[in-house]
Amino acid sequence: MGGGRGGGGFQYQMRPQRGQDYEQPVEITLQEAYHGTTRVLQKEDQRLEVKIPVGAKTGTRVRMSGEGGPGPAGGPAGDLYLRVTVLPDPRFARQGDDLHTSLQVDLYTMVLGGEVRVPTLTGEVVLTIPAGTQNGRSFRLRGKGMPRLRKSGESGDLYARVKVRLPANLTDRQQELFEELQQLAQDQ
């Protein structure tokens, strides 16, 4: 009943294993999320340039293949993931791919109608306000929101809520006209 060779020891050879994945937080502005951006990371003695895609949102993960931990026993390196946080913007609130903003519109434009300029992430657009627009009404500007992540050519919408800006420091004549309007409304 023989065994093998003398010594009875086993030799283990480690199998190559994949290295550990790493995660790195990164903050970007809403403007950078709209246009896409890059970040430069320093890993040991090398610089890594990472592209953050158009339409990125908080929670988006950007993978850099092979830039994680080294693989034991000659295995492949793990991956590096950037975890994106989009910083708040003072002009816009983001809900999915839609943007929301508020506009101060003077009383006269709300009552008589007219045009106002609406900020977007690519510049201003003109919005026509119909006569008799009520305070708090929202207008939808199709395709003026955020680009959809990994869906080229598709964008969310921009919702502009109008808020009436009452005139301040009325002249005596303006005061008289408002009083006349009030009287006319009561007489109806």
pLDDT at 91 over 90: yes
**Could you tell me the pLDDT band of residue 184, with boundaries at 50, 70 and 90?**
confident
- Report the SS3 class of residue 156: coil
Q: What is the pLDDT of residue 5?
A: 52
pLDDT at 47 over 70: yes
Q: What is the pLDDT of residue 59?
A: 95
Average pLDDT over residues 85-104: 97
- As a whole number of angstroms, the distance between CA 135 and CA 137 comes to 6
Average pLDDT over residues 52-59: 96
Give the residue with greater pLDDT, 14 vs 85: 85
Report how far apart the first and last C-alpha atoms of the chain are (Å, whole number): 117
Average pLDDT over residues 19-39: 95
Residue 110 burial (10 A CB sphere; 0-12, 13-18, 19+):
buried
Average pLDDT over residues 66-94: 93
Give the residue with greater pLDDT, 86 vs 152: 86
The token duo for 180 is 């006349």
Q: What is the pLDDT of residue 8?
A: 59
Residues 130-178: tens digit of each pLDDT: 999 999 999 999 999 999 998 888 999 999 999 999 888 889 998 898 8
Mean pLDDT of the chain: 91
pLDDT at 6 over 70: no
